[in-house]
């Protein structure tokens, strides 16, 4: 589910947590959770697995089919989809920084209108949110 961007429930995450703990060889829950740091389990797992590229593309499919985009905008979205596939998530603040400033010095702000930026950030937050329990 995490790999394909499907929503995950708290009970599914609890079961995943239990299975991973049992297989980890850690003697305590604290020892097991230490590598997670402050990350929720779903985000941690997705950061390791990444996300299925078809699922990442699917997250943007409605947006891409409804918006007339120029070549730089399409390249920006394709790059965003690749990063989501590799990393499992993208922090929305990254869209205004390197590596997205290679498309425009202001990143997302320089490439898209205000309304379109809001839609892109909404999609990114939705994808990121699917790695935590619903």
72-97 pLDDT per residue, tens? 999 999 999 999 999 989 999 999 99
Distance CA 92, CA 86 (A): 16
pLDDT value at 36 more than 80: no
CA distance 108 to 111: 5
List of residues 6+ apart from 88 with CB closer than 8 A: 2, 43, 45, 46, 47, 48, 49, 50, 51, 131
For the entire predicted model, the pTM comes to: 0.82
Tell me the C-alpha distance between 114 and 5, whole Å.
26
Q: For the chain, what are the domain ranges?
A: 1-134
Asked if residues 2 and 131 have their Cβ atoms less than 8 Å apart, the reply is yes
Q: How confident is the model at residue 134 (pLDDT cuts 50, 70, 90)?
A: low
């Amino acid at each position: 589910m995490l790999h394909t961007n499907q929503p995950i429930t708290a009970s599914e995450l609890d079961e995943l947590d239990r299975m991973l703990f049992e297989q980890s060889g850690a003697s305590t829950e604290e020892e097991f959770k230490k590598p997670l740091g402050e990350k929720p389990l779903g985000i941690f797992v997705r950061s390791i697995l990444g996300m299925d590229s078809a699922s990442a593309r699917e997250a943007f499919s409605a947006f891409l089919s409804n918006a007339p985009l120029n070549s730089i905008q399409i390249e920006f979205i394709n790059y965003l989809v690749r990063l989501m596939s590799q990393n499992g998530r993208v922090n929305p603040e990254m869209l205004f920084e390197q590596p997205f400033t290679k498309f425009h010095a202001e990143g997302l702000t320089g490439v898209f209108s205000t309304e379109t930026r809001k839609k892109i950030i909404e999609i990114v937050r939705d994808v990121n949110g699917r790695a935590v329990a619903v």
